A and B are shown apart, each in its own frame.
Chain A
Amino acid sequence: MVDALRRAHRLVKSHGHVVDLHPSAKRARVEAAGRPIGYVDADDAPLRHAAAGAALAAVVEEGLFAVDGALVFSFYTYGDSIEELRDYVEANWRSARIDDQTVGRAREILRDAPEAQPRICEDVHITKLRPLIAGGRSWRG
């Protein structure tokens, strides 16, 4: 990941930027009718996402980039049913699943609130990096 950012440093113009979006290391939450009811189980996702954050910190520490902006936002994925969300995660996420207990809790809640769509909530970091020249100096003087 650090190598990828170093390559980006070579690619980007002196007045350009690198912007990274990656999910936080916290597990994605499953919610039904606005209530948290469980998590998406994803084998190594928290480690991978933590590593992305560490890589960003490393290239800033190296003096390759300065942080020009950063924020965290919530990314929601809705399904018409908990089964649809479960199937979507299994088909599209890497080694991830919504376990049977969470599916059962969602069914119970949604039985009383059939109009409510179950959803997955991911906290996502977005970071804007400005390239620096060797020694941590800004191109912009």
Chain B
Amino acid sequence: MAIDEDPEEHEVAALAAMVASFARLRVVEIGCGDGRLTRRYAFDADSVVAIDPDEEAIAQIAADLPGVDARAIGYDALVLPAQSVDLVLFTWSL
């Protein structure tokens, strides 16, 4: 298999146009899937909670990105304090 998603990096460029910097941001990503986008900003962010119901994908993110709080849950199960996040990112998940 040699499926190649977005080699032109249009998605990353579009995200960069919306969020100039992830530095010092506390991020919650809803529907992170295989972490295609998570991998691009996780090292810059202050903290990342990345959720997706796909347990296999979350296990892979947890292995690849140990600094990310990756959770195999749906959005309804996410419990965080009010006004505790700088950026909520819906990644093809709304």
Contacts and interface: CB of A to CB of B under 8 A. Distances in A.
Interface of A: 1, 4-5, 7-8, 10-23, 52, 55-56, 68-69, 71, 73-80, 84-85, 88, 117, 124, 126, 128
Interface of B: 1-8, 10-11, 13-15, 17-19, 28, 30, 75, 80, 82-94
A1 B84 CA distance: 21
Contacts of A5: 94
Contacts, number: 116
Given A19-B89, A71-B17, A73-B14, A13 B4 contact: no
B86 A13 contact: yes
A24 B89 CA distance: 17
Given A14-B83, A69-B17, A126-B14, A4 B75 contact: yes
B2 to A, nearest CB: 5
Given A11-B80, A12-B87, A19-B87, A77 B3 contact: yes
A17 B2 CA distance: 35
A13 B94 contact: no
B interface secondary structure, majority: mixed
Contact of B94 (A16, A55, A75, A79): A55
A88 B89 CA distance: 25
Contact of B3 (A7, A14, A84): A84
A32 B51 CA distance: 35
Contacts of A79: 2-4
Count chain A CB atoms within 10 A of each CB in B10, B28, B86, B90 and give the residue with the most: B90
